[in-house]
Structure 1
Amino acid sequence: MHNQLDRLIWRRHRRLFLALGALALFANVVMVIIALSSRQTAGAHQLVGASIHHWATYKGDYFTAYSYWLIFVYWLAGLLLMNQDLKDNFNQFLFTSGFSRQRVYWTKLRQSLVVLLGISIVTIAVQYSLYWLMKPHGVSFTLAWPGLLTSWISGLAVATGLFAICWFAALIIGQTGALIVTVTGFTLSLMSVGAISQPILTNRPFSLSGSQLTWLVIGVWLIAAIILFVWGAVLYQHLSLEHNGEYLMVPRLKRPVYLVFVIYVTGIFSWGDTNWMADVVTFLITVIFGYAWLWRPRIGERLHQWRARHDG
């Protein structure tokens, strides 16, 4: 039964996995060609800087140890895998085929992460090989384990965390358009969170060094991913397909999501702002928008009923 489930999920998602792998390879090949064909490369003596020897995430002018395109592929995979199964009724097919929901969930998750890890390994191997084969004459390409390992671990942690966010969101949100808007907005807002958190953590009382901050971020992403994966397994067990097409397929999450949305968005836009009136306006806009966003089907139904009574 377990092997049969693996085969069913693989046949369902193999085209998507191949497309994601092709996207990762194509994007990184283009990046390598652009980097090596730039005018600045001709005057360089080495493609990799001396900071590759440090235990820190490496990002140079010409060479990136872990491509941002791989992180985007993880993000896109988390968004599409669960959403496709929901829209095409593949979840319902698996449930009615005798497979337990927990086995379906963890098998799908395990297979997805293994394939994405394989895509990362192949893409990195091709990327590094191209740098070595296509580097200009007289330009060195010297790597070091400290920078590589830190970059790989950091990149995989961020990629897995973003995959988990999209995976969890696609599990509980039943509308594709709303899912894309929600996940995109939340992902972009994380940049603001990073910008706010960095000066706090690097100054007193924390005074973290750059290396310590890197490993802290890695730990936070991994812990967040584990929490979302486990929480997703719990919700997947009680997922009702009757709510398919609603913004939240788990009605009990409406109030918690609403509260988190109001606090999170208000906090981001009000951070460091000394104008309390602007903070109040931001809070009110967030409250109204969040309520309309989460409860808009109910509002729409009431409006439809009012129109029906008015026409009658």
Structure 2
Amino acid sequence: MASAKHVFETGCKSVKMFTVQAKTCKKTENSPMKPLLVASPMEEGDYPVVVFLHGYLLYNSFYSQLFNHVASHGFIVIGPQLYVVSGADTSEEIKSAASLLDWLTHNLASILPPQVRPDLAKLSIAGHSRGGKVAFALVLGKVVSSPIKISALIGIDPVDGMGMGNQTPPPILTYKPNSIKLDMPVLVVGSGLGELKRNALFPPAAPKGVSHEQFFNECCAPGCYFVAKDYGHVDMLDDETKGFRGNLTYCIAKNGKERKPMRLFVGGIMVAFLKAYLEQEKGTLMAIKDNPGVAPVEVSTCSFLE
């Protein structure tokens, strides 16, 4: 199983991580409407692109170690800061994500190292928590349709609201099995502790009925579903998340013992999934399916729709 373990370790590509400032005036008309955190391989080549949408009230910088891991395996990772403050309605985030995809089709190559060529024919969209909901909404054409073809969808502990009957608009889940019909493969990664309260002061970060299990139940083939048993909703973030919001990530959700194993698992399973479906390199993903024990966390659920 050594061949499967490599995706859970840092890849062979050196990575450049940088920020791109948002458009502020006419002089910066070639800038994106939202600030970006970009992780790019440095070696010459053509690389698939992953757009990753952050969780509720989180900063894109909190995912820098995850982005670095995925990029080191040969992917360009783009993490927009969709908002700083937002209400319950995700419509504006969906519009912002669509606008970013449009901007990337015309401008992505210009912000990357000159030897790096983005392959937008292999574009995937991923999101964590509320960002996972936004990713699903965009590929489903909720509010607005994607201006570019998306080839794969990833939901990292996606959340559709505060609970059954209390979804945030626009709702994604229909509570009908296999009702999310897409022309692309889907990966859903869940946290075993996300549905549990940390304490009496805060509700669960990923309430049962609007979280990963229900999302996967409504997906159609091809799809993959993994749950990390002893890890929480924000355990894939950087080891240190500073500032007021960063400190909140340690106390509002039930957490595992440390973040690194969950982050390596999320990054590795993303890489295995994308290699399988975008580059037809299915050996690693199938090896993990056959022996989930190769992962750096205990996997309580490993399910495939084929």
* TM-score (norm. length: structure 1): 0.29
Higher RCO (C-alpha 8 Å, min separation 6):
1
Higher helix share: 1
* TM-score (norm. length: structure 2): 0.29
Higher strand share: 2
